[in-house]
Amino acid sequence: MLAIRNVNYFDSETQKIKKNFNILIKDGKIEKIVREDTVLPESCETVDGRGKFLIPGLMNLHSHPQRRHLSRADNSGPFRFGASAVENLPDTWRLAYAIKNVWTEMLLEGVTTVRAVGSKNFLNIELRDIFKADIIRGPRIIAAGPIISTTGGHATVGLNGAMEADGVDGVRKAVRMVLKQDADWIKLCVTGGLAGIHKGEHPSMVQFTYDEVAAAVDEAHRKNRKVMVHCMASEAAKMAIRAGVDCIEHGNLLSDEVIELMKEKNITFVPTMSGIYKVYKREHDAGNEKVADLLKAVVFPQKDVVRKAVQAGLLIGAGTDTLGNIIDEIKMLADCGLTNVQALGTATIDAAKILDMDSEIGSIRTGKVADLALLNANPLKDLDGLKDISKVILKGKIFDPGLIEIWK
């Protein structure tokens, strides 16, 4: 049994800090939450939480673990070249990168759950299963398998990381193939994106038909799996929502009409603001002004879109894509009108709701999985407090950052 003693913990369901409690953890779950003067079992391993703040482990709902290391400052070249280089490596190398990256780029940020939203050859499913089996310790992976795109669509040129499918029958077969490998979600690219903008691709381009998307949704929902769509523009979003998708990713150019439709249909939203901005910044800093100017028209309007989504009361989740950072993402969402408490919720309880896992994770409650981050500062007063991590607890066990030395 592990006990975190005399700690202030964030109750993300009541949205308050509760002071001076003992959190008792057994068999990977929170067994008891008791007052600080409660006598603890003698056999307890204890962590002194006095003056510290305990929050649920953070969730990153949009990431590509195999190329997360590209977010670091020393990788300053154009994103498209670095990402393409990684995606075209042998699977063994990409798996090694993925394991390294979730340690050095995620767990040390307090991220204990990752929705891995696309990797060719089912690598993110393999990563999920390796961590599930405790062969190597790592965060919970919610795996989408490969991205499904049209022939020549987003993530098929350069990145070469998507499964191509065309026509209703072709899309049905692709979804069935991904579900056969036990993917947790299905991901479709219904518009172009930023990575291909230098080759004439544009986020406003619609890349699936209504019938194709509806077929994908039908197949996924038959197996009780949800569908997320890479979608940056309004026409594609309207089509996808009518077809029954569950979550919009990115959404840079969404209209007021689409936001209202998302609210009406209970469609969730993962904007990935920090990652999208950094794609622009990488191109700008690398001197690629033509590409950077093209990106401005897509990147800069996103803040207004997210602000309107906040005002509409959409359920929003924090995600970083490749280049973003989860703490930057939470802060950017706060800049769009969320309170600090609500912004933290995008990476905790609201993220868990998007995953339909709020009965298991996302808040500090008796019976829930003990995925936790112990902070030295109160994040509700200043979200930069999320950077000051004392310990990360993964499934009830302390993650030792000293082990990161093996990767250096």
Residue 384, pLDDT > 90, answer yes
Residue 339, pLDDT > 90, answer yes
Beta bridge partners of 310: none
Rounded to 5°, angle at Cα 297 from 291 and 300:
110
Predicted confidence at residue 408, as pLDDT, reads: 45
Predicted confidence at residue 76, as pLDDT, reads: 58
> DSSP assignment of 56-113, as one string?
EPEEEEEE-GGGGGGGSTT--S-HHHHHHHHHTS-HHHHHHHHHHHIIIIIGGGTEEE
pLDDT mean over 299-318: 96
User: Do the Cβ atoms of 60 and 272 come closer than 8 Å?
Assistant: no
pLDDT mean over 102-120: 92
Name the range with the highest mean pLDDT among 78-82, 278-282, 370-374.
370-374
Predicted confidence at residue 374, as pLDDT, reads: 97
Of the chain, the percentage scoring pLDDT greater than 70 comes to 94
Q: Pull the structure tokens for residue 184.
A: 């947790």
User: Which residue's structure tokens are 């994908």?
Assistant: 216
Please, what are the domains in the chain? 2-55+363-399 (2.30.40.10), 58-354 (3.20.20.140)
Lowest mean pLDDT among 90-99, 328-337, 373-382: 90-99
pLDDT mean over 198-223: 92
Between the alpha carbon of residue 167 and those of residues 210, 211, 215, 244, 277, the distances in Å are 10, 8, 9, 18, 33
- When the pLDDT of each residue in the chain is averaged and rounded to a whole number, the result is 91
Q: From the CB of residue 3, how many other CB atoms can be counted at a distance below 10 Å?
A: 23
Predicted confidence at residue 284, as pLDDT, reads: 80
Residue 285: pLDDT band with limits 50, 70, 90? confident
Nearest to 20 by CA among 7, 31, 30: 7
pLDDT mean over 356-377: 97
Nearest to 213 by CA among 149, 267, 160, 269: 149
Residue 12, pLDDT > 70, answer yes
Residue 74, pLDDT > 80, answer no
Per residue in 240-270, pLDDT (tens digit) is: 999 999 999 999 999 999 999 999 999 999 9
Per residue in 125-171, pLDDT (tens digit) is: 999 999 999 998 899 999 999 999 999 999 887 677 799 999 999 99
Instruction: Tell me the backbone φ, ψ of residue 268, rounded to 5 degrees.
Output: -85, 165
Residue 282: pLDDT band with limits 50, 70, 90? confident
Predicted confidence at residue 78, as pLDDT, reads: 63
Predicted confidence at residue 254, as pLDDT, reads: 97
- Residues 208-214: contacts with CB within 8 Å, 24+ apart? 208/150, 208/153, 208/171, 208/236, 208/239, 209/239, 210/239, 210/242, 210/243, 211/168, 212/150, 212/165, 212/166, 212/167, 212/168, 212/171, 213/171, 213/188, 213/239, 213/240, 213/243, 213/245, 214/243, 214/244
CA separation for the pair 378, 142 (Å, rounded)? 29
User: Do the Cβ atoms of 118 and 162 come closer than 8 Å?
Assistant: yes
Residue 404: pLDDT band with limits 50, 70, 90? low
Residue 104, pLDDT > 80, answer yes
Residue 81: pLDDT band with limits 50, 70, 90? low
